[in-house]
Amino acid sequence: MFLFDIIQRTYTAIFPPTASKNDDAIRIGLLGASKIAPVVVVNPAKSHPDVIVAAVAARDSERAKQYAKTHGIPIVHSSYQALVNDPSIDAIYVALPNGLHYEWALRSIRAGKHVLIEKPSCSNAIEARKLFNHPLVTAQNAPVLLEAFHYQFHPAWQTFLSEVRRFPGAIKDVYAGFFLPAGIVGVDDIRFQYSLAGGCMMDVGTYPLSCVRQIIGREAILEPIDVKYRGIAHGSDGKSESLQIDEAIEAKYRTADSINVHISGDEMTKGGRPSFLPASWTRNMPSLRWPKSSVTFEPVLVDTLVRENKSPLQHFVQRTVTLWNPIIPTFYHRIDICDQHTLRQENDIAKTWSETNYKTAYNWPEGDKRASIYQDWWTTYRCQLEEFVNRVKGREGSGVWVDGAESIAQMEAIDRTYKKAGLKLRPTSTFEL
């Protein structure tokens, strides 16, 4: 049954049912013929009655035409601006290189379009503050602007957060990591171009940073205390600025209330798998590692056992909550709730034992009205699209959202991490509006 459920969810997520479109469906245009757009928008839109992917524009017009044919997109524009100016388009998905996010998000908003912008929202915090605080964005009845941190919209992540928040102990340690096997990203990929705001911290590394910030509370300031990165010897842009590109990054932070925070990200993960082979054999082999987020709490005194003619026994519990696979939880995920029990007699340990419970959350809890809307095969991107449409339509929605203040704080944390690593901040756009 377990395997059947995985196969059924996976198949339906990849080949979703096609919904009949409503007359007032939101018509979305794609800026860029990107590899990610079919996953983020095109496929999720098939099952949404209020979304039509109506147009695409790319620098290469022939590529745009072929892309449109492949994905059933009726309109191909000759330029980004032509798409933005199209009066039949209601919303824009910006999946251009990071260095172009600020400019084209702002151009789209000026044209009155709602905007779903790929993460990271901008090249640096300067751009983020300018974008999300721009009068066109903050005006009453301004178009919707959302940074696409899709994982936050899935019930698995929200259930994980609820488990973290319900435990009474203080958070001690937080970890999050996300890894891509070597070979997924080519050495000539735009993600390794400094001029386009590339780097691991601007791609897979932004996920674990966002995760730990969600866990500790977005108001908390992460101060980096140790940042290590693996650079690339020769970048795809062939310039010395390529030496500013991180291929992998590992960072440790501390908060004002002494929480230890650790993140890791790698665009080219190698070695260690399969574990039964000698390390010398697997050193340069692509490695698959599960993304995860975990929280460990300080021990909490839950009971005191008073004993006649003996010192009392104090019962402490230290909890660790781990979410395996927060990025693509639809196919498989698991929430581990591990309690380490300790009985203490004065300064001595009398007994220890552990208990672990496991949970999944492919949908909202039974009885929650959101559970009747969401489906267990919905990907994080389908959940995100649902809430984007709800916000555009003025509907109540699930209550999950990534607002401008959160996007700004995320970019500020990225900038602090790069500074601590001794790397330059990604370049600021010269575009002004």
> Which domain CATH number covers 80?
3.40.50.720
What's the mean pLDDT when you consider all of the chain?
95
**Cα torsion 367, 371, 376, 381: sign:** negative
Whether residue 44 is found in the same domain as residue 83? yes
- Does some domain include residue 79? yes
CA distance 198 to 247: 10
CA distance 389 to 429: 29
Catalytic residue among 21, 65, 119, 359: 119
Alpha carbon 71 to chain centroid, angstroms = 25
CA distance 2 to 7: 9
Whether residue 37 is found in the same domain as residue 155? no
Taking residues 171-199, report their average pLDDT. Answer: 94
- Does some domain include residue 60? yes
Whether residue 53 is found in the same domain as residue 28? yes
Whether residue 163 is found in the same domain as residue 19? no
CA distance 203 to 208: 10
* pLDDT tens-digit series, residues 350-403: 999 999 999 999 999 999 999 999 999 999 999 999 999 999 999 999 999 999
Supply the pLDDT for residue 281: 75
Residue located via tokens 């290469």: 60
Residue 48: pLDDT band with limits 50, 70, 90? very high
Whether residue 102 is found in the same domain as residue 141? yes
Whether residue 60 is found in the same domain as residue 156? no
* Cβ pair 314, 344 in contact under 8 A: yes
For residue 35, pLDDT beyond 60: yes
* pLDDT tens-digit series, residues 328-341: 999 999 999 999 99
Whether residue 8 is found in the same domain as residue 125? yes
pLDDT above 70 coverage of the chain, percent: 98
User: Which residue range is the domain that position 159 belongs to?
Assistant: 151-169+298-375
Residue 424 annotated among the catalytic residues of the structure: no
Name the residue with higher pLDDT: 107 or 282.
107
Supply the pLDDT for residue 408: 98
* Cβ pair 165, 289 in contact under 8 A: no
Query: Among 64-73, 182-191, 331-340, 359-368, which is the least confidently predicted range?
Result: 182-191
Listed residues 123, 150, 177: the one ending a domain: 150
Name the residue with higher pLDDT: 269 or 154.
154
For residue 276, pLDDT beyond 60: yes
Q: How many distinct structural domains can be found in the chain?
A: 2
Query: Among 224-238, 310-324, 383-397, which is the least confidently predicted range?
Result: 224-238
- Does some domain include residue 308? yes
Whether residue 73 is found in the same domain as residue 164? no
- Does some domain include residue 16? yes
Q: How many helices (H) and strands (E) does the chain have?
A: 13, 15
For residue 237, pLDDT beyond 60: no
Question: What amino acid is encoded at 45 in this protein?
Answer: A
CA distance 231 to 201: 12
Supply the pLDDT for residue 233: 63
230: helix, coil or strand? strand
Whether residue 28 is found in the same domain as residue 82? yes
Whether residue 100 is found in the same domain as residue 18? yes
Whether residue 14 is found in the same domain as residue 163? no
Residue 186: pLDDT band with limits 50, 70, 90? confident
- Does some domain include residue 225? no
* Cβ pair 208, 293 in contact under 8 A: yes
289: helix, coil or strand? coil
Q: Which residues contact 366 (CB under 8 A, 6 or more apart)?
A: none
For residue 235, pLDDT beyond 70: no
* pLDDT tens-digit series, residues 301-312: 999 988 887 889
Taking residues 198-225, report their average pLDDT. Answer: 96
- Does some domain include residue 255? no
* Cβ pair 293, 215 in contact under 8 A: yes
- Does some domain include residue 418? no
pLDDT above 90 coverage of the chain, percent: 86
Supply the pLDDT for residue 239: 57
- Does some domain include residue 276? no
Task: Tell me the two tokens of residue 307.
Answer: 């004993």
Whether residue 157 is found in the same domain as residue 35? no
CB atoms within 10 A of CB 137: 18
What phi-psi label fits residue 237: left (phi over 0), alpha (psi between -120 and 50 degrees) or beta?
A: alpha
* pLDDT tens-digit series, residues 394-432: 999 999 999 999 999 999 999 999 999 999 999 999 999
* Cβ pair 48, 113 in contact under 8 A: no
- In a 13 Å sphere around the CA of 229, the CA atoms on its Cβ side amount to 24
Listed residues 150, 183, 212: the one ending a domain: 150
Residue 120: asked if its preceding bond is cis (omega within 30°), the reply is yes
For residue 277, pLDDT beyond 90: no
CA distance 212 to 343: 31
Listed residues 340, 359, 375: the one ending a domain: 375
